[in-house]
Amino acid sequence: MLIVVIPIGIMGYQSYILAEKSLTSFAYQHMATIAENKANQLDSWLEERLDDVRVLARLPVIREACQKYFDKKADPAKLPTNLLKDTLALIEGTSPSYENIYILMPDGRVLASTHPDLSHTQGYHNYELMDRLRTSDEPLLGPVYQYPGQRGWHVQLAAKINGQDNKALAFIVAVLDLSKTIDPIMLERIGLGETGETYLVNKDRQIITESIFFDWSKIADLSFDTHGIRAVVEQKKGTAVYENYSGKEVLGSYVWLPRYEWGILAEMETDEIMWPLTWIKTIGIGTSVLVGLICLLMAFIVSRRVSRPIVQVADAAERIAEGDLKQQIPFSSKDEVGRLAGAFNLMAQQLSQSVTALRQKEESLQQAYDELIATQEQLLRSERMAAIGELVASVAHEMRSPLSSIKLNLQIIGRSLGRETVLHEHYEIAFDQVVQMERMFSDLLNYSKPLEIQKKDISLKALVERCLQELEGELSARNIKVEQRIPPDLPPIIGDPDKIEQVLINVLKNALEASAHNDQIQVSAETAEGSSGAVLSIIVTDHGSGISPRNLKTIFQPFFTTKKKGTGLGLAIVKKIMDTHRGSIALTSEEGKGTAVRLTFPSIRETL
């Protein structure tokens, strides 16, 4: 690993040093080229504007008008000011940077202006610039300034209008808004990446073009003292690494423009410039680490290949001794270790096959025995239940005849007793007990009989209406309202109409008996996806006394009841009917708050 990694590390370090030198040299040249290019663009653009005022100063129509005004041979009101204004407007239309162009007379009067309201503003004229023009035949550029009430920087261009004796008759003054033309030149980001910018500074170290880091209002009155700004104000030209006015380390190139007394700076953050070096460093380190890991992996594989066969044979022998007979040693070599592994694998395979055959025979015998026992138990249970059912049916049938006779005689006796006598009260108790026993025998006969169902399509809406119509008298007697929440587009239930009606009536009766007077019962329905397909559920909810958690566990057992006159077979029969329909019944209850019974049917026509 050392023999491979050390040369790679040395080569990577040397490559990094060479790349750093090359990239730095290229970046210096690149930024210097951008600064020179911006300076040339700026000089070319300003030269065009100076030519504009030079042309205006030499136009005969302007010179004649100024000469007449200067010689006082014409009434100022009669001078062709509209013609002069239109002439100035033609030049102003050549560039969007013109804010105003006007003719200024030596006495301070504006003879014509494209925007008269601006030319008369106090402090707008730069008279120092006019004094310099008296001794110069070439147009001049004034210093930049901030115009009160406006955003950005402005500069004035002026040219002298000479008379016949070469005296200054007047001045052509053009006011330029730097933000409309110079700012776009400076903000052009070709070759500057994401963090680079070019900007202008004046001799007072103020930034006079738009900044990409700060808003104009924050830097309008500030002077900056960076290495680049100090060097360019000192009229130096060069390239260096330094911190810019926003505190970032940049590689900047600066050029002084003596004709305009401006300095131009092109800067870009060193992190962005040197980003390729970071990638080179990452590749070098990653390559060294990867090669080192590969060497370690190869060393590990070689060392394991020598000791692994012996260790595997020993481990396999221990696992076979513990009962794991499926051990195989994966070796393809033909040496002594390979032959040992082959013999070991053959022995383990034969032993495993023998044990597997014995286990399969044992499992077959055990399965046959279990099936025989289960069949015997099922047969005994069926015979026992059949015998009990026959006995119960026979006893119930035999008991109904004398019970009917007792009931008939009690009715005859009851007619001869006065309602206000003490014997009539005993008669009513006996008659109620006979009726309850008769109902219990009927339920017992129904419960003991095997159910035979005939499945049909059942409309849930119609089923609920029939059940409520049958219970209408009991509901009206207790002033209990039933709220139905059944969607109209439900699919039908597949089942025996009479049996399912019996189930629903039983559940509704229980809800009615549990509810207080003037209470309410809700009947709702919904569809859902069960484990074996789509199901439809009917939910009956009351707000009665509820059922205790202890009774919920035994509520479906035969003869269990909490009612004084109940037989305890109602819910047992309901569960038997639901089981026959491959459905289910579930109760959720809370004492003092009510009970919800959910009847779930698995067969829906849409899923058949």
For the cut 80, the answer to whether the pLDDT of residue 228 exceeds it is yes
3-state secondary structure of 98: strand
Cβ–Cβ < 8 Å for 250, 244: yes
Cα dihedral 39→45→51→52 (10° resolution)? -150
Sole residue written with tokens 């080569």: 11
CATH topology of domain 456-607: Heat Shock Protein 90 (3.30.565)
Cβ–Cβ < 8 Å for 84, 111: yes
Give the pLDDT score at 121: 46
Same fold, 59-180 and 456-607: no
- What class does CATH assign to 59-180? alpha beta
Taking the C-alpha atoms of residue 565 and residue 226, their distance in angstroms, rounded to an integer, is 104
Task: Name the phi and psi angles at 29, rounded to 5.
Answer: -65, -40
3-state secondary structure of 107: coil
Beta strands in 557-605 (DSSP E): 584-590, 594-601
Beta strands in 232-358 (DSSP E): 238-243, 249-257, 262-269
Reading phi first (left if > 0) and then psi (alpha if -120 to 50, else beta), residue 166 is in left
pLDDT per residue as tens digits for the range 356-373: 788 788 888 887 787 788
Q: Model's pTM, two decimal places?
A: 0.45
Cβ–Cβ < 8 Å for 528, 534: yes
Mean pLDDT lowest among 322-326, 386-390, 585-589: 386-390
Mean pLDDT lowest among 171-175, 222-226, 278-282, 388-392: 388-392
Cβ–Cβ < 8 Å for 499, 451: yes
Task: Name the phi and psi angles at 120, rounded to 5.
Answer: -100, 5
Taking the C-alpha atoms of residue 229 and residue 262, their distance in angstroms, rounded to an integer, is 11
3-state secondary structure of 336: helix
Summarize the confidence of residues 270-283 as an average pLDDT.
77
Q: CA dist 75 to 67, 72, 85, 90, 501, Å?
A: 12, 7, 17, 25, 118
Give the best-scoring range by mean pLDDT among 42-56, 163-177, 280-294: 42-56
The two tokens of residue 62 are: 């302007």
DSSP 8-state code for residue 492: P
Task: Tell me the H-state helices in 103-177.
Answer: 116-119, 127-133
Helix/strand/coil (H/E/C) assignment for every residue in 17-34:
HHHHHHHHHHHHHHHHHH
Give the pLDDT score at 264: 92
10 Å Cβ neighbour count for 89? 15
